[in-house]
Amino acid sequence: MPREITAFSNSLVKRVRNLREKRHRREEGLFIAEGLRILTDAEEAGRLPQWIFYTAEMRNHPLVRRLSAACEADGGEAIETNVDILHKLSGKDNPQTVLGVYAEFETSLDRLDRAASGIWMVAQSLRDPGNLGTILRTGDAVGAGGLILVDDCVDPFSVEAVRASMGALFTQRIAKASWAEFLAWLRSGPGQLVALSLRTDIDYRQPSYEAPTFLLVGNEARGLPAAYEDACDLRVKLPMRGRADSLNAAIATAVMAYQVLGQRL
């Protein structure tokens, strides 16, 4: 049976609300995901929340009942609450009517199987959670193996990044590493590292990409360090016909991913 919580002073409400801050997510090893679609996508990917919060209006929704039962069977807890509490937890003026609290994923490179896919995404010093979420969604769309975050990137478990991923956070593997760690791991097996760069004359449509292809994009403002580009197997650029000298990092990654996918098909 679900527990009912309606008091702002409840200790669990305070604990979950604090997960909006990176420091508390790291201490707890937990993060928030919002919305029935994202929670059902997570379930289909084999991940269940430790707590599921929902409003009384959603009590008899078949998907909420299924998720609640699965959560409780897995040792979690279903909690019925109100919109005001959900607003406090999510920080949104118009919060979703269902919210889940999940354990953060293990993010070491060693858990990745590079043979699982012919396409992998790699982002260096990415700072915008919207870009991270879009890259994850693109990875899901093209059947990529996952996203490797290099150096100091935005937290993939932040509320904003989870929202932007639209559930792809649960379908894509995520790893974190320094540049040196990533490069050593990459060179220990097969894999072509392809940089999106302005320091080349090679059009992205010209090369024949080798599997697995690791698509590397840099920081939104600065791009990739020159030394990182020099360590890549290939540098390519997207043709720019207007005044802009580059595309948004997530859009450029999507264009490249579909080019590689098109060659695979």
Q: Is the pLDDT of residue 114 over 90?
A: yes
Contacts with 67 (C-beta within 8 Å, 6 or more apart), sequence order: 39, 40, 43, 48, 49, 52, 98, 100
- The C-alpha atoms of residue 58 and residue 105 are separated, in whole angstroms, by 28
Shared domain check, 218 and 124: yes
Final residue belonging to a domain, choices 103, 132, 156: 103
| String of DSSP letters for 196-256 | E-SS---BTTSSPPPSSEEEEE-BTTTB--HHHHHTSSEEEB----SS-S---HHHHHHHH
Shared domain check, 137 and 93: no
Per-residue pLDDT band at 245 (split at 50, 70, 90): low
- What pLDDT was estimated at residue 103? 97
Q: Is the pLDDT of residue 243 over 80?
A: no
More confident residue, 68 or 92: 68
Q: Taken in order 80, 83, 88, 90, is the CA torsion positive or negative?
A: positive
- What pLDDT was estimated at residue 264? 86
10, 80 Cβ separation under 8 angstroms:
no
Question: Tell me, what CATH number does 158's domain have?
Answer: 3.40.1280.10
| String of DSSP letters for 41-73 | HHHHTT---SEEEEEGGGTT-HHHHHHHHHHHH
- What pLDDT was estimated at residue 244? 66
Find tokens 């403002």 and name the residue: 221
Q: Is the pLDDT of residue 240 over 90?
A: no
Q: Which of 212, 214, 213, 195 is nearest to 204 (CA)?
A: 195
Across the chain, what does the average pLDDT equal?
94
Per-residue pLDDT band at 152 (split at 50, 70, 90): very high
- Cα 20 → chain centroid: 16
Shared domain check, 253 and 170: yes
What CA–CA distances, in Å, run from 265 to 1, 76, 146, 208?
A: 49, 42, 19, 13
Percent of the chain whose pLDDT exceeds 70: 98
CB atoms near residue 3 (< 10 Å):
12
Domain range for 43 is 3-103
Q: Mean pLDDT, to the nearest integer, of 5-13?
A: 92
- What pLDDT was estimated at residue 65? 96
Shared domain check, 229 and 114: yes
Counting the structural domains of the chain, the total is: 2
Final residue belonging to a domain, choices 103, 130, 154: 103
Per-residue pLDDT band at 95 (split at 50, 70, 90): confident
Percent of the chain whose pLDDT exceeds 90: 86
Q: Mean pLDDT, to the nearest integer, of 154-158?
A: 97
Final residue belonging to a domain, choices 33, 68, 103: 103
Shared domain check, 251 and 184: yes
Chain segment 174-187, per-residue pLDDT in tens? 999 999 999 999 99
